[in-house]
Structure 1
Amino acid sequence: MNNLKKLILILMALIIVSCHDDLDQYPIDPDSFTETNVFASAEEARGALAKLYASLALTGQEGPAGQPDISGIDEGTSQFSRLYFSLNELTTDNAVVGWGDPGLPNLHAMSWGAGNDFTTGMYYRLAQEVSFTNSFISNAEALNDNPEVQAYIAEARFLRAFAYYNLIDFYGDVPLVTMVSTEVPEQNTREEIFSFIESELLEIQDLLAESGSADYGRVDRVAAWALLSKLYLNAEVWTGEERNTDAVTYASQAINSSYSINTNDANGNGSAYDELFLADNDTNGAQNEFIFALNFDGNQSRTYGGTTFLVHAAIGGSMDASEFGVNGGWGGLRTTKALVNKFDYAVTEEDEDGNPVEWADARAMFYTEGQNLEINTIANTFTDGYAVTKFTNLDSEGNAGNDEGGEFVDTDLPLIRLAEIYLTYAEAVLRGGSGGDVSTAVTYINELRERAFGDNSRNISASDLDLQFIIDERARELYWEGQRRTDLIRFTDFVSADYLWPFKGGSQTGTAVDPYRRLFPLPANILTINPNLTQNPGY
């Protein structure tokens, strides 16, 4: 099977229901995953590998709900990329949500505690991925003399490294578990986990498929280089030691691979940017930019997370859901004026009150009709805050996705795309990384801006490129893609009074919050079960 959207269906034969007590998790019935027939051959191991990818996209064994992999939290809410959005975007200037689910309003107010459903759910979801990858690696090693299986193991190690990358980003010090065990794990430092991720990615880079040779949806060695560049870019925050030269090195390797910035304006609207977020982004040219993406299909991989969440939840007010290829809106997600203002330089039309309603920058994908730029009330007031139209379930020809009922979305979700690595390169150079240069960084930035504007009228020069420009350009290019919280922390803007946005810290005009909010708490029930763990300061 050449497409992982089909391959993940094999997971339905792997009935796995995990309990989540600590990072040393394992399936309730390990034999259901480790039976001899599951790893009897390379082809069977390939089917088991699908579960490792699927556990980041789906939530259980029935889809969209039923037999969940994680209990104690709404199944749709527990999906990885939905939690990823909630923790990385709702905690920032990029997004608010009007729903009152327990723990959800606390994210934008930055007032979460150790029992928060969303911070707890993400810990469990990432711990599950570690557990599944450990089990796969242990069992696949019996077939390790097969070169094909060696590549599968390398993919599993990448996915485990990706899980740990997020664990140290969100939680700091966590247990490092690399095998299935019944022992209660010790807690490792962030620096130790950082070194583990680094060594894993360096070791597997040549074991992964050549650039561009893997089936769509599976990672190749460029994913390892890209994740290394991201790891090194955050090294000073996570370890106290800057690694910007290494970030330049591996960003350059990823950039000089077979991946390319999508410039195919498949729907003929004057910009190729929106193709990245359409229902056919696995075929319309956008796939050439996706280094690591989650695959979704409205019929064959159903979830109330993923892009189904991003499309439905962003529709409300006077918006017509059919124009987004779905059957209705959930009236939840909007953005703050802080993000909208990042596009002030490109405003082409204002309303009678002087608020922007049209922009020359195609990345400014906002719905403004009947919406207020200012947010007076977040809860249950969808018209407060501009809506975001970035994700849709229409393809390049305007056709809706595969699900005839319009409930579940086909659009794939990039977790790492080449445009981000362009910006990583530029930032690392500006932060003093050697091996790169500002003129090359400017060339990369202008490639993105030419796509956004359709011409070179808004290209920049070397004198325009500084760190403030980079953090703003990252906001314009990558909003709602799960990058913002980490970026704001790296730029020292997340908790300080130096940069405020509406309702930061629970104040309508925004206020500083305590520095310990740069980390989320370890789940309270995990601490009860594992006495080896120490809670993060402040919680």
Structure 2
Amino acid sequence: MKRYINLFILLIAGAGLLAACNKQLEEYNPSGLTVDQVFSTPEGFETLVSAAYSYNRWWYGKEEGYSISEMGTDLWTSGTGDKYPDLTQYINLQASNGVMSVLWRQLYSAINLCNTGIGRIGNAGFTDEKRAMRDAELHFLRAFYYWHIVEMWGGVHFTVTETAGVETTANRTPVDTFYAQIFRDLDIAVQHLPVSTSDYGRATRPVAQAFLARMYLTRGMNDRAAALADSVITKYGFSLVPKYADLWKMDNLQNKEIVWAVNYMKNLVFDDRIDATLYPNGHSRGANNGHLMFGMKYDDLPGMQRDILNGRPFNRYMPTLYLLDLFNEKADARYDATFKSVWLCNNTKTAPAGMKLGDTAVICTKYVVSNADTAGKKYRVYDRNICYYANEGGKDRTRYVSLQKFDDPSRASMNEEQSAKDAYIIRLAEMYLIAAEAQIKLANPGKAAEYINVLRMRAAIPGHEADMQVSAADMTLEFILDERARELAGEQLRWFDLKRTGKLSAHIIAHNPDAAKNFREFHNVRPIPQDQIDAVTNKAEFTQNPNYQ
């Protein structure tokens, strides 16, 4: 969905933020248009709805979103280039964290824009059909953004009305109130959204139902979660891509497995890399930048130089051994589709004697490799003992098996930070996982195994189908979390998964020794940004989350 984002609309959205500073802005309005005028025409109101979608770009496919949703879990630890070890390893995580401030500000801007649209849509001049559809989109988006807020920060500020001007007070609202509104909004969305759209990236009825299934699961409404997930699986023509690896190909992004995605544009100009309002100083690097985050540093090794195919390695995050060990790569094709373990020589000038272009130059492996195994080999090996300590904490944080789902070999240059790769928000595979988890909780493990086997048969390497088959006896919550890791690693759901299941603490302690040293139970919610705490005048009522400073 191509979103031309109106700066005027974004400024109106930002006006609803709780004050972050006392600086006065000099307003300049060369057009002479007022908010009431813009929002009272169908054309003007469409810019509001488009802008409401744009806030997904702050989270999905962005470093800030990865840092807060995938990191600090059982699956990932710090690479050498990690900018936010307070999130990745909980090292003195406090309210001053920059990710908290950025995402809090943008999520509440999104909420205010949705509130503004919902309150004003009756005067936009739409036909009844168009009004109901755009209103449903705004209700859906408000539910979606409020879910991020309430899960991250708990019972914080809540409102469903437009904020005009600057507010200096904030409220503390119970989590249950947030979820009651989320369900009301999603009920409206499901009722009035169209079944399909020609404008890729807009919310539709199956999108709303898929997210509602996720919400039902989150709140323990397992019968509804199971039924709704199954409805998305069976009713709308979605289907799993036959080969898991094909999900991540640049020429196959809009496939039948994708329920909803942030549609980044091939023309990078439309992805706002130089938009001073959306991304000041290029802060979020415009389009999808997942391809930068998970790659190890390869370009200073013998036989290697930076190129487009191998990517620009920011070296931010490395997988935990727990994540790598979850896979039986001899049977499960998802391992090789998910991770890059071999780098081929692309620079004979620095290569060992006798190494040719295309020969293996570097191998990273989760196994222990002996000196006898590498004797006489020209390539370098970084094995389990080099990359990880005996307790499985990160050791060599520069070389490691690297996530490659988000790689983009279609980028125009080797140093291009932006990628036009869509950021998947909801895949059909998640519906199978939701249905399975709900069925386990409903004491139907046989039915749960049926859903899981659909995913595992898709992932099975030919000839190893029997190795991938699971039974009712295998169906436990721990197995589901393992399967979600194998299927969804890196897709910005893990922190939510562990919190939903009450496993965040246990899994970090058991599987991520780097984070376990600093993790405490109060980390189940994030610190409210300090600039927000400083700005409010009712500090006795609006207090910091416990144990943060």
Q: TM-score range by the shorter chain?
A: 0.7 to 0.9
Q: CA deviation at 1:306?
A: 7.3
- 5+ residue gaps in structure 2? 274-283, 300-304, 343-362, 364-380
Q: 1:321 to 1:220 in 2, by over 3 A?
A: farther
2: CA distance between counterparts of 1:483 and 1:220? 21
Q: Deviations over 1:136-184 (max 9, x none)?
A: 3233231355311321121111111101011111011012111222553
Contact persistence 1:314–1:389 (CA under 8 A): yes
Contact persistence 2:77–2:320 (CA under 8 A): yes
| Pair 1:201 & 2:186 matched | yes
Q: Deviations over 1:490-510 (max 9, x none)?
A: 3333113785234443xxxx4
Q: CA deviation at 1:101?
A: 7.0
Q: 1:132 to 1:222 in 2, by over 3 A?
A: same
| Pair 1:533 & 2:518 matched | no
Corresponding residue number in structure 1 for 2:528: 522
Query: Residues 90-489 of structure 1: matches in 2 within 5 Å?
Result: 90-98=71-79, 104-111=84-91, 112-143=93-124, 145-182=127-164, 183=167, 184-210=169-195, 212-235=196-219, 242-264=220-242, 272-283=243-254, 285=255, 288-298=256-266, 299=268, 300-303=270-273, 304-305=284-285, 308-318=288-298, 322=307, 324=309, 326=311, 328-343=312-327, 345-347=328-330, 361-367=335-341, 369=363, 370-373=381-384, 374-375=387-388, 381-383=397-399, 385-394=400-409, 400-401=410-411, 406-432=416-442, 437-455=444-462, 456-457=465-466, 458-489=468-499
Q: Deviations over 1:36-93 (max 9, x none)?
A: 55335434422332111122226xxxxxxxxxxxxxxxxxxx8884322111111112
- Mark the structure with the bigger radius of gyration: 2
Alignment TM-score, normalising by the size of structure 1: 0.78
SS in 1 for 2:134: helix
1: CA distance between counterparts of 2:474 and 2:82? 43
| Pair 1:8 & 2:24 matched | no
Cα RMSD between the aligned structures?
A: 3.3
1: CA distance between counterparts of 2:289 and 2:77? 14
2: CA distance between counterparts of 1:233 and 1:219? 20
Contact persistence 2:72–2:88 (CA under 8 A): yes
Q: 1:407 to 1:121 in 2, by over 3 A?
A: closer
Q: Deviations over 1:467-524 (max 9, x none)?
A: 221110000001101111121223333113785234443xxxx447321111111122
Contact persistence 2:296–2:401 (CA under 8 A): no
Q: 1:178 to 1:280 in 2, by over 3 A?
A: farther
Letter of the 2:73 partner, please give it: T
Aligned residues: 472
Q: CA deviation at 1:325?
A: 7.3
Q: Deviations over 1:286-333 (max 9, x none)?
A: xx222221111252314445764210222332266545475x322322
- 5+ residue gaps in structure 1? 59-77, 236-241, 265-271, 349-357, 395-399
SS in 1 for 2:260: strand
Contact persistence 1:42–1:146 (CA under 8 A): no
Q: 1:405 to 1:518 in 2, by over 3 A?
A: closer
Corresponding residue number in structure 2 for 1:67: none
Corresponding residue number in structure 1 for 2:505: 495
Contact persistence 2:146–2:178 (CA under 8 A): yes
1: CA distance between counterparts of 2:217 and 2:505? 19
SS in 2 for 1:206: helix
Q: 1:405 to 1:39 in 2, by over 3 A?
A: farther
Letter of the 1:315 partner, please give it: G
Contact persistence 1:45–1:149 (CA under 8 A): no
Q: How high is the sequence identity, in percent, across the aligned residues? A: 23
2: CA distance between counterparts of 1:381 and 1:466? 33
Letter of the 1:8 partner, please give it: R
2: CA distance between counterparts of 1:432 and 1:442? 13
SS in 1 for 2:388: coil
SS in 2 for 1:296: coil
Q: Deviations over 1:348-405 (max 9, x none)?
A: 7xxxxxxxxx96755542335254443358699411x4211121214xxxxx146797
2: CA distance between counterparts of 1:316 and 1:417? 27
2: CA distance between counterparts of 1:492 and 1:153? 35
Alignment TM-score, normalising by the size of structure 2: 0.77
SS in 1 for 2:250: coil
Q: Deviations over 1:208-232 (max 9, x none)?
A: 111x335211110112211221112
Q: Deviations over 1:248-269 (max 9, x none)?
A: 12222222231423325xxxxx
Higher relative contact order (CA 8 A, sep 6+): 2
2: CA distance between counterparts of 1:192 and 1:379? 44
Contact persistence 1:244–1:432 (CA under 8 A): yes
Contact persistence 1:332–1:382 (CA under 8 A): no
